[in-house]
C-alpha cells in the first residue's frame, strides 16, 4: 500500500467549527511528548485546570477536560447525573438539544421535553409549566444552538430550575470564549464545551465543570455510571484528587495545544474577546445584508459567532459553497436537519473572527453570486 503524503490546504475556516488555529497553538503540538504522569506534565495539567476555571468563570474544584470532543462532554454531564428512572427536562430548539434527549433516554431517564421552533429560543414560561408536572433531577439546555444561530438567555430559566430543586446542565460548546458566560454567577451545575469553536484549539477535547451541588449528586448515586471511561468518580481522582492516579493516557500533544490556546485567550482577556466577536458580527451582518442574505434569528437572540442566514432565492447554495471552498479556500457551513439546503451557517469563531476574514469572504461572494 502506498500512502500519500499529508498536504491539507490552508483553508479559511468560517463554518460551525473547527475554526482557524493560531500558529502558536500548532507549534505547541509539535513539542516533545512526555509521560502523562511526568511531574512536568502534571504542572501543565494544573495550569489547564486553572484555564478551565478562568474561562468558565467558576471556582468549581471539579473543573477538567474530557479527552474526547464536545459530544463526550455532553455525555459526561448527563450520564454522571442521571440514574435509571430519574425524571429530567430537556429543552430542544435545535440539533444539540435533540442529542441531549437521546443520551438521557439511553441513560435510562424518564425524559420530559420543552421545544421551541427552530430559530427561536426556549420560552421560560414553558419550562416553568413543565417543571410543575414532574420531579426533576435536572434540566438541560443549549446556550448557543449552533444548528440555528440562537443565543438562549439563561437567567430566568436558571432561577426556575433551582426553585424546583433541580440541577442546571448547560451546553456552552459554541458560546464558550466568545460570548458572555458566567458559570458561578448563573448558578450552572454542570457545563461542557469544546475546544474547536471560539477557543480555536484543535477539535477533540471537552472542558467540563461540576458545581459542589452536582458533585454531591454524584456522591449520592446508588447505581454505577453506565460508562467506565466517563465515570467521574474515577476521572476526578486524576483532576481533583490529591494524587494523580492513572485513569487513561492523556492526549499529551492536544493538551499542549489547549494550554497555549488558553494563554492566548487570557492574554486577550475574556471581555475583549467577547467585544471582538460582537463587533465583527455587526460588520459581517452589514456585508451579508448588502449581498441579499437575511438572518434567520430575531436580532436580540442572534449569536455573534454563528451567523445563520437564508440563502438568497435562486442561488444554488451547494454549488456556491463548493466553489467558495475549492476556488477561494473558504469553508462556510450548510444547514443542518430541517434547514439543510436552506440556510448557511457562517462562523466568526476565535481566530476566524477578524475583519480580514469578513473581507475575504465578502470579496469571494461578490465574485460568485
The alpha-carbon radius of gyration of the chain (Å, integer) is 21
Is there a contact between 66 and 76 (Cβ–Cβ < 8 Å)? yes
Q: Tell me how far apart the alpha carbons of residues 129 and 13 are, in angstroms, rounded to a whole number.
A: 41
DSSP state of 94: S
Q: What are the E-state strand segments in the chain? A: 12-14, 62-66, 87-92, 110-115, 136-142, 144-145, 150-151, 167-171, 190-192, 206-210, 294-295, 306-310, 330-334, 343-347
Residue with Cβ nearer ligand PLP (215 or 336): 336
Q: Candidates 140-148, 245-253, 292-300, 318-326: pick the segment binding ligand PLP (CB under 6 A).
A: 140-148
Is position 207 an interface residue for ligand PLP (rule: CB under 6 A)? Answer: no
Q: Tell me how far apart the alpha carbons of residues 75 and 97 are, in angstroms, rounded to a whole number.
A: 12
Is position 203 an interface residue for ligand PLP (rule: CB under 6 A)? Answer: yes
Is position 347 an interface residue for ligand PLP (rule: CB under 6 A)? Answer: no
| Least CB distance to ligand PLP at residue 70 (A) | 3
- Residue 274, burial from CB neighbour count under 10 angstroms (0-12, 13-18, 19+): buried
| Least CB distance to ligand PLP at residue 354 (A) | 21
| Least CB distance to ligand PLP at residue 59 (A) | 25
Is position 334 an interface residue for ligand PLP (rule: CB under 6 A)? Answer: no
271 grid coordinates: 471581555
Which of helix, strand or coil describes residue 278? helix
Query: Using CB under 6 A, which of 67, 146, 158, 307 touches ligand PLP?
Result: 146
93 grid coordinates: 430548539
Residue with Cβ nearer ligand PLP (87 or 115): 115
Of 74, 23, 28, 19, give the one whose Cα is nearest residue 258: 28
Query: Using CB under 6 A, which of 20, 75, 171, 260 touches ligand PLP?
Result: 171
| Least CB distance to ligand PLP at residue 203 (A) | 6
Sign of CA dihedral 319, 144, 353, 289: positive
Q: Candidates 85-93, 107-115, 139-147, 297-305: pick the segment binding ligand PLP (CB under 6 A).
A: 139-147
Query: Using CB under 6 A, which of 166, 173, 250, 265 touches ligand PLP?
Result: 173
Query: Using CB under 6 A, which of 62, 79, 139, 142 touches ligand PLP?
Result: 142
CA angle, 204 as apex, 202 and 206 as ends, to 5°? Answer: 105
Residue with Cβ nearer ligand PLP (94 or 364): 94
Is position 331 an interface residue for ligand PLP (rule: CB under 6 A)? Answer: no
Cis peptide before 18 (omega within 30 of 0): yes
Residue whose CB is nearest to ligand PLP in the complex, by number: 70
Residue with Cβ nearer ligand PLP (41 or 96): 96
Is position 304 an interface residue for ligand PLP (rule: CB under 6 A)? Answer: no
Of 255, 347, 311, give the one whose Cα is nearest residue 66: 255
Interface map 63-82 toward ligand PLP (x if CB under 6 A) = ------xxx--x--------
Query: Using CB under 6 A, which of 15, 17, 178, 202 touches ligand PLP?
Result: 17
Binding site for ligand PLP (CB under 6 A): 17, 69-71, 74, 96, 142, 144, 146, 171, 173-174, 194, 203
Amino acid at each position: 500500500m502506498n500512502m500519500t503524503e499529508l498536504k491539507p490546504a490552508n483553508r479559511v475556516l468560517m463554518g460551525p467549527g473547527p475554526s482557524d488555529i493560531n500558529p502558536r497553538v500548532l507549534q505547541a503540538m509539535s513539542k516533545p511528548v512526555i509521560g502523562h504522569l511526568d511531574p512536568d506534565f502534571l504542572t501543565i495539567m494544573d495550569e489547564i485546570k486553572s484555564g478551565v476555571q478562568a474561562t468558565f468563570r467558576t471556582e468549581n474544584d471539579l473543573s477538567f477536560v474530557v479527552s474526547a470532543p464536545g459530544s463526550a462532554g455532553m455525555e459526561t454531564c448527563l450520564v454522571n447525573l442521571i440514574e435509571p428512572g430519574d425524571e429530567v427536562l430537556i429543552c430542544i430548539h435545535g440539533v444539540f438539544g435533540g442529542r441531549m434527549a437521546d443520551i438521557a433516554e439511553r441513560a435510562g431517564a424518564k425524559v420530559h421535553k420543552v421545544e421551541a421552533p427552530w430559530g427561536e429560543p426556549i420560552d421560560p414560561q414553558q419550562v416553568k409549566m413543565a417543571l410543575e408536572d414532574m420531579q426533576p433531577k435536572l434540566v438541560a439546555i443549549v446556550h448557543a444552538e449552533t444548528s440555528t444561530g440562537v443565543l438562549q438567555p439563561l437567567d430566568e430559566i436558571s432561577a426556575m430550575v433551582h426553585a424546583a430543586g433541580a440541577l442546571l446542565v448547560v451546553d456552552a460548546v459554541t458560546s464558550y470564549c466568545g460570548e458572555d458566560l458566567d458559570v458561578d454567577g448563573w448558578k450552572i451545575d454542570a457545563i461542557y464545551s469544546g475546544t474547536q469553536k471560539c477557543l480555536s484549539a484543535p477539535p477533540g477535547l471537552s472542558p467540563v465543570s461540576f458545581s459542589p451541588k452536582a458533585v454531591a449528586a454524584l456522591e449520592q448515586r446508588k447505581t454505577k455510571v453506565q460508562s467506565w471511561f466517563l465515570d467521574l468518580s474515577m476521572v476526578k481522582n486524576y483532576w481533583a484528587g490529591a494524587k494523580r492516579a492513572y485513569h487513561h493516557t492523556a492526549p499529551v500533544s492536544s493538551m499542549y495545544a489547549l494550554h497555549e490556546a488558553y494563554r492566548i485567550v487570557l492574554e486577550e482577556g475574556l471581555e475583549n474577546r467577547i467585544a471582538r466577536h460582537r463587533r465583527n458580527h455587526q460588520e459581517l451582518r452589514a456585508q451579508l445584508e448588502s449581498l441579499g442574505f437575511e438572518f434567520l434569528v430575531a436580532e436580540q437572540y442572534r449569536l455573534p459567532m454563528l451567523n445563520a442566514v437564508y440563502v438568497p432565492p435562486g442561488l444554488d447554495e451547494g454549488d456556491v459553497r463548493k466553489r467558495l471552498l475549492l476556488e477561494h479556500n473558504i469553508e462556510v457551513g450548510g444547514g443542518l436537519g430541517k434547514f439543510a439546503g436552506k440556510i448557511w451557517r457562517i462562523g466568526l469563531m476565535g481566530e476566524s473572527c477578524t475583519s480580514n476574514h469578513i473581507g475575504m469572504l465578502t470579496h469571494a461572494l461578490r465574485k460568485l453570486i
